[in-house]
Amino acid sequence: MSRRAMKAELLDAETELRLAYAWRDERCEASLHRLITAYMRLAISMAAKFRRYGAPMNDLIQEAGLGLMKAAEKFDPDRGVRFSTYAVWWIKASIQDHVMRNWSMVRTGSTSSQKSLFFNMRRVQARLEREAAAEGVILDRHTMRERIAKEVGVPLHDVEMMEGRLSGSDFSLNATQSSDDEGREWIDALEDDSEQAEQTVELKHDTAMLREWLLTALSALNERERFIVRERKLREEPRTLESLGIELSLSKERVRQLEAAAFAKMRKSLENESKEVLGFLG
């Protein structure tokens, strides 16, 4: 399976554009499949960067795949940008929303400033501490908070609130993750938010792509389940269970059960591929 996945086709700009037009204008599912398959590696590589937040890798990959699907749904080939460039935002947003929903300490925080702080505050703080140390300056907590707020571009009270929410796991970024002498420091586990990985995938079209994953997961669903997944996950404004129930002549609870069953089927499909996925990621 892994060797077959390594042989996925490479899409040049012209082919990518043709597939995007075929999906947008003709709703050609074969074109959608080829487009998504070509960039599943991008989605998986981005999902891997968020493993440190504790979410199961399969869940992260599923959210990344849904973000990729939403990017394909929203992509406008007339804008003159590569699909992979456009998809990066949707994939990252989908993964981050999932992490925020499942991180108990910040479950109630969902504003853009809180989201920015959650994924950037520790990295910014570590850099400010290094810069201050290089200058022989010791920053008090209030000054540090002010600098973080200015750096991230959020109000000071948001920094104070987020610091309180994260205080339960507050520790030195230079502390080691284990008692071993060679244990790596926690700062080494911070998300690398550079664009190097995405650029590598986009420019070189790495031949190590995982194919068939997303289509296999979707093929496990019946037509009604696919419709519910699309309406609940792929719309810019997801529909409510009640509105879907009215359209499908079902109760709100029945729609919820069908949605749960659909994701259970997709999760089972992911679990069947988990050895290949995790083996590829090392």
Q: pLDDT class for 178, splitting at 50, 70, 90? A: low
> Picking from 86-95, 172-181, 243-252, which range would have the lowest pLDDT averaged per residue?
172-181
Residue 205: its pLDDT value, please? Answer: 45
pLDDT tens-place string over residues 99-134: 877 765 444 455 666 777 777 777 888 888 888 888
**Range among 140-144, 158-162, 241-245, 263-267 with highest mean pLDDT value:** 241-245
Residue listed under structure tokens 């002549």 = 249
pLDDT tens-place string over residues 77-97: 998 889 988 999 899 888 888
Q: What is the 3-state secondary structure (H, E, C) of 176-229?
A: ECCCCCCCCEHHHHCCCCCCHHHHHHHHHCCCCCCCCHHHHHHHCCCHHHHHHH
Closest CA to 169 of 95, 124, 112, 118: 118
The token duo for 206 is 């790495």
Q: pLDDT class for 184, splitting at 50, 70, 90? A: low
Cα torsion through 65, 232, 34, 198, rounded to 10 = -40
pLDDT tens-place string over residues 188-201: 655 555 555 555 55
Q: pLDDT class for 75, splitting at 50, 70, 90? A: very high
DSSP state for residue 155 in the 8-state scheme: -
Domain spans in the chain, listed from the N-terminal domain onward:
2-102+195-281, 105-170
Q: Over 60: is that where the pLDDT of 280 sits?
A: no
At a CB cut-off of 8 Å and minimum separation 6, what does 55 contact?
98, 99, 102
Q: Which residue has the higher pLDDT, 272 or 109?
A: 272
Q: pLDDT class for 270, splitting at 50, 70, 90? A: low
Question: CA end-to-end span of the chain, whole Å?
Answer: 16
Task: Check the CA dihedral 168-172-174-176 and report its sign.
Answer: negative
Residue 177: its pLDDT value, please? Answer: 55
Q: What is the 3-state secondary structure (H, E, C) of 204-215?
A: HCCCCCCCCHHH
Q: pLDDT class for 278, splitting at 50, 70, 90? A: very low
At residue 190's C-alpha, the angle toward residues 186 and 192, to 5°, is: 145
**Strand positions, DSSP E, the chain:** none
- At 124 the three-state DSSP class reads helix
Number of residues written out for the chain: 282
Return mean pLDDT, the chain: 76
Instruction: Indicate the burial class of 3 (C-beta count within 10 angstroms; 0-12, 13-18, 19 or more).
Output: exposed
Q: Averaged over 160-164, what is the pLDDT?
A: 72
Residue 268: its pLDDT value, please? Answer: 77
The token duo for 36 is 């998504």
Distance CA 282, CA 213 (A): 18
Half-sphere exposure of 144 (CA within 13 A, CB side): 20
Residue 22: its pLDDT value, please? Answer: 94
Residue 2: its pLDDT value, please? Answer: 32
| Percent of residues, the chain, with pLDDT higher than 70 | 70
Residue 71: its pLDDT value, please? Answer: 92
- Helix (H) / strand (E) element for 258: namely helix 252-281
> Picking from 96-105, 195-204, 214-223, 259-268, which range would have the lowest pLDDT averaged per residue?
195-204
Residue listed under structure tokens 């650029």 = 199
Residue 15: its pLDDT value, please? Answer: 92
Distance CA 276, CA 115 (A): 32
Q: pLDDT class for 23, splitting at 50, 70, 90? A: very high
Distance CA 148, CA 117 (A): 9
| Percent of residues, the chain, with pLDDT higher than 90 | 16
